[in-house]
Each structure stands twice: as C-alpha cells, then as structure tokens.
C-alpha cells in the first residue's frame, strides 16, 4: 500500500472560526486531574497522543513551543487542517527547515482535549528520531500542556498527572524543595550552580528541557571553561541536524541543596545555536539524565517548580565508553533452533498435559529489528578494535541482541569499565568478531 498524508485545507474555517477559539487543553468538567503513563527511553518520556483521531507517540518536551510532527511513514493517513508553509529554526549543523503549519486540530491525551491546536509538520524524511530511540516516535509536544496544567512527573512510577491549576494544592514534604523558575518565550529556566574545576562555584541559569536526553550542557565563556579532560563527542540530534561538542565531567551540579557529584556534562559547539536569537540569559540546559533523578511538579502559572529526589538520584552517570552509537535500520530474519540436542521440543502449553514432540532440526524463523552501528567515536575502544559505521550488530558477549531492546544493547556495550567486550557483527555478508576493553574516560 502506498503511504500517504491526507491534508484538508479549509480557508473559510481558518479565517473565521479559529480566530475566536482559544487554543488550550482542558479536562472534562469536574475532573481534577488526568494520569498518563509514559515509557522512559534514553531519559525521554514517550506519551500517547491522538491527533485528529490518529493515535501517535510524542516526546514530552518542555523545551518546545508548538507541537511538531515528523516521521509519519508508519501512518497510512493523518488528517491535518488549514495548512500553510513555514520555516522552522532548530538545533544542529544544518540550515532552517521547511515545514507546514496546520491550525484547528483536535488533539487528545486521554481525557484531556484541545479542539484547536496548532501543529508544525516537518516533511523531511531524514528527520526521524525513532531509529535512535528504538521505538516509534511521531513528534514532540510540550509548552501548551505545561501552560494549561500543573504537571506532576513521577519518574519512578513512569507516570504524569496533569492537574487543573484552579483546584490544585501543593503538598510539600520536608524532602521537597520549592524553587522559583522563569518562563520566557515558552521555555522554563531554573537557577543552579556548578563546580567545574575545583575552584569556586559558578551560578548558572539553565533551561529545563525534558526533551534532552543528556545530563547538563554548559555554554563556554570566561566563567565556564572546559576541563582539561574531555573528548569530542556526538551529543545528539536537533531539527536542523547533528550536534557535537566536548564531553566531560564536572565536580558537581548544585540545585538548591541537592548536590550531584561528578556530574556528566557537555560543552556543545556554539555554531549549533547560530539560529537562536535569544538565549533567555541562560548558561546551558538541564536534561533528562538529571531531571529523572527527581520527581517534579511544574507550576508554570505560579512560576514554581517542586523537586524531590527519587531512587535514581545516586545512580552513576552513564557514558558511551565504547564509542559506539546504535540505530535501528529496518528488519532482518533470524532462525533459531527450538529443539534441544536430542531433537525434542517442549511445549509451553499444558492444556492437555506436558507434551514432547520430536521434530528433527526444528527451527523458528523470526522477524526482528536490525541494529547497526550508526557512528564510531574516533580514538574510542570500538574504533581502535576495528568496528565501522554500518556494521550490523549480531551479538554482544555471546548474547544474540535480537532478544534485547536497543537501550539494553547499549548498556551491554558500556557497562563496567575495565571490562572486555566481544562484539559479533555482520559486514558485507561476513560475520566478524571484535573485542575491546572499556577504558576509564577521565582517569
């Protein structure tokens, strides 16, 4: 079946009707809050969102203003109303991108509804975060939800509660901290401080960005200098392309009286931000790898954020020690022997008692995602061992990777410094085995 995007253009409706409808999210009458479960993938919250009747998956991104749709390849059709062409500036090395602006869309998140939501639609098929996350992601959504509700994020239980701000009452415990935040151009900022090189703490203003999977980004200036020990790294993808910078570790990050020691940090190349005219006076960004260490309540209306540390708080920060970046790249067929060495297949179904079936050479053919090496850091253990971009990962330390999620495979490749890692790959129809030792990065 040919994939298609169905677009309705309603000029009269756009001119007369939507000019008087407020663009806001609302709970049903009498409902004080709505709870939504999320998947936590690579420190990002993936939530279910319905757009004009089509069920999609979005990243909850406090750093984005208007919702943005991309990666619609797995949808036969989606209705979009009142479409015009626009240009969007985003992070990354590339130029601003062409997009569509659609108005008057019906967006639904459980019982939460918005009958007149603006949406930007990016038509460039190359802008697709799904392969890097290993799950389908169709877009990003943020500011309007944070604006219209008090948003209670429980990273431990992987649940978000959207409260009616008119009836919400803060429940503050002794372990919680209520902090002031500012909201400028639809983005929320928090004051913190960092100790970079053992000299003195530097006060910083950080963008709180649930759409960033990293820990903390810092903008280099006279006060914030890159530590001597760092390595050049791929930091992620923005709408305008890849983002690179210097990966390092700082002595600590302090938010109120919460102190995160040996915090993971990065100093992004500032060319990435050429299209941004106003930084809001910030010195960097606070991302999901830090935010997930707290349960948070965002109250945009009162310019407050409540933080309470959770069970993630003292976990070690994770680095890409191996130097391998992974990506989903289609599917592959895997055949598995399902009989034991005697040719016996044990039935898992016991409706008629335990049954043994003798099937000579019995195998099972499965369709599984193909995971490839999408990038290799120069000078990393994997690079020195001979791994290359485009290699198809088959097994890590003897374990067939088709049984694991992509983020689990990343953990297998990077857990435990000084550990020897063996990677079986397919390259040009040949199976090759490589091994390397995970070396400490900053010692």
Architecture of domain 324-437: Roll (2.30)
SS3 371: strand
CA distance 264 to 215: 6
177-309 and 324-437 in the same fold: no
Please report the pLDDT score of residue 18 as a whole number.
36
Please report the pLDDT score of residue 102 as a whole number.
93
Give Cβ neighbours of residue 285 (< 8 Å, ≥ 6 apart). Answer: 63, 206, 207, 209, 212, 214, 216, 217
DSSP string covering 166-222: TT------TT-EEEEEEEETTEEEEEEEEE-SSS--EEEEEEE-TT--SSEEE--SS
Please name the helix (run of DSSP H) or strand (run of DSSP E) that holds residue 413, with its range, or none: helix 406-414
Quick one: how far is CA 199 from the chain centroid? 33
CA distances to 15, 117, 218, 434 from 103, in Å: 11, 6, 36, 52
Q: Which pairing describes strands 112-122 and 68-69: parallel, antiparallel, or unpaired? A: parallel
| Residue matched to tokens 């499965």 | 366
Instruction: Please state the domain extents for the chain.
Output: 7-163, 177-309, 324-437
CA distance 390 to 425: 10
Q: In a structure prediction context, what are the per-residue pLDDT tens digits for the chain, which is 443 residues long?
A: 333 343 333 322 333 333 334 579 999 999 999 999 999 999 999 999 999 999 999 999 998 989 999 867 655 578 888 889 888 766 555 567 788 899 999 999 999 999 999 999 987 777 777 888 888 899 999 999 999 999 999 999 999 999 999 999 988 888 999 999 999 999 999 999 999 987 789 999 999 999 999 999 999 998 999 999 999 998 887 766 788 999 999 999 999 999 999 999 999 998 766 655 556 689 999 999 999 999 999 999 999 999 999 999 999 999 999 999 999 887 666 656 655 555 555 544 443 344 444 445 556 666 678 899 999 999 999 999 999 999 999 999 999 998 898 999 999 999 877 789 999 999 999 999 999 999 888 86
SS3 384: helix
Please report the pLDDT score of residue 353 as a whole number.
42
CA distance 166 to 150: 9
This prediction has a pTM of 0.85
Q: What is the CATH class of 7-163?
A: mainly beta
Q: Which pairing describes strands 284-286 and 430-437: parallel, antiparallel, or unpaired? A: unpaired
Asked if residue 353 lies in contact with residue 388, where contact means CB atoms within 8 angstroms, the answer is no
- Tokens matching residue 327: 């990506």
Beta strands in 347-412 (DSSP E): 356-358, 363-376, 392-396, 399-400
Please report the pLDDT score of residue 238 as a whole number.
74
CA atoms within 13 A on the CB side of 112: 25
Pick the CATH number of 177-309 from 3.30.365.10, 3.40.50.150, 2.40.70.10, 2.60.120.200: 2.40.70.10
Backbone angles phi, psi at 301, to 5 degrees: -60, -40
CA distance 61 to 65: 9
Give Cβ neighbours of residue 294 (< 8 Å, ≥ 6 apart). Answer: 155, 258, 307, 308, 309, 310, 313
Q: Is the dihedral of CA 58, 142, 221, 181 positive or negative?
A: negative
């Amino acid at each position: 079946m040919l994939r298609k995007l169905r677009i309705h253009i309603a000029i009269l409706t756009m001119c007369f009707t939507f000019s008087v409808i407020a663009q806001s999210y609302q709970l049903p009458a009498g409902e004080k809050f709505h709870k939504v479960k999320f998947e936590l993938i690579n420190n990002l919250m993936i939530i279910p969102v319905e757009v004009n009747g089509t069920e999609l998956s979005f990243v909850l991104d406090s750093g984005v203003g208007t919702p943005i749709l991309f990666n619609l390849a797995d949808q036969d059709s989606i209705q979009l109303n009142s479409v015009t062409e626009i240009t969007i500036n985003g992070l990354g090395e590339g130029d601003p991108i062409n997009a569509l602006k659609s108005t008057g869309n019906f967006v639904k998140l459980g019982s939460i509804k918005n009958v007149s939501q603006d949406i930007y639609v990016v038509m460039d098929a190359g802008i697709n975060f799904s392969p890097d996350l290993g799950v389908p992601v169709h877009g990003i959504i943020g500011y309007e939800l944070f604006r219209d509700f008090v948003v209670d994020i429980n990273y431990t239980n992987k649940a978000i509660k959207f409260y009616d701000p008119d009836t919400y009452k803060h429940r503050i415990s002794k372990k919680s901290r209520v902090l002031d935040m500012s909201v400028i151009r639809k983005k929320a900022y928090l004051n913190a401080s960092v100790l970079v090189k053992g000299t003195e703490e530097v006060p910083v203003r950080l963008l709180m960005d649930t759409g960033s999977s990293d820990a903390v980004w810092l903008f280099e200036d006279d006060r914030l200098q890159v530590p001597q020990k760092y390595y050049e790294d791929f930091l992620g993808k923005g709408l305008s392309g890849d983002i690179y910078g210097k990966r390092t570790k700082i002595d600590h990050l302090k938010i109120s009286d919460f102190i995160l020691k040996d915090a993971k940090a990065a100093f992004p190349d500032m060319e990435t931000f050429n299209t941004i005219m106003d930084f809001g006076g910030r010195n960097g960004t606070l991302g999901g790898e830090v935010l997930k260490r707290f349960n948070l309540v965002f109250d945009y209306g009162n310019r407050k954020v409540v933080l309470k540390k959770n069970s993630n708080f003292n976990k070690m920060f994770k680095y890409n020690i191996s130097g391998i970046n992974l990506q989903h790249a289609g599917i592959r067929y895997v055949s598995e022997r399902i009989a034991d060495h005697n040719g016996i297949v044990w039935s898992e179904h016991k409706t008629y008692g335990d049954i043994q079936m003798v099937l000579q050479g019995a195998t099972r053919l499965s369709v599984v995602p193909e995971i490839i090496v999408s990038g290799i850091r120069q000078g990393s253990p994997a690079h020195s061992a001979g791994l290359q971009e485009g290699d198809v990962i088959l097994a890590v330390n003897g374990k067939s990777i088709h049984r694991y999620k992509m983020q689990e495979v990343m953990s297998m490749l990077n857990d435990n410094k000084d550990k020897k890692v063996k990677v079986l790959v397919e390259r040009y129809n040949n199976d090759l085995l490589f091994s390397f030792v995970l070396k400490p990065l900053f010692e």
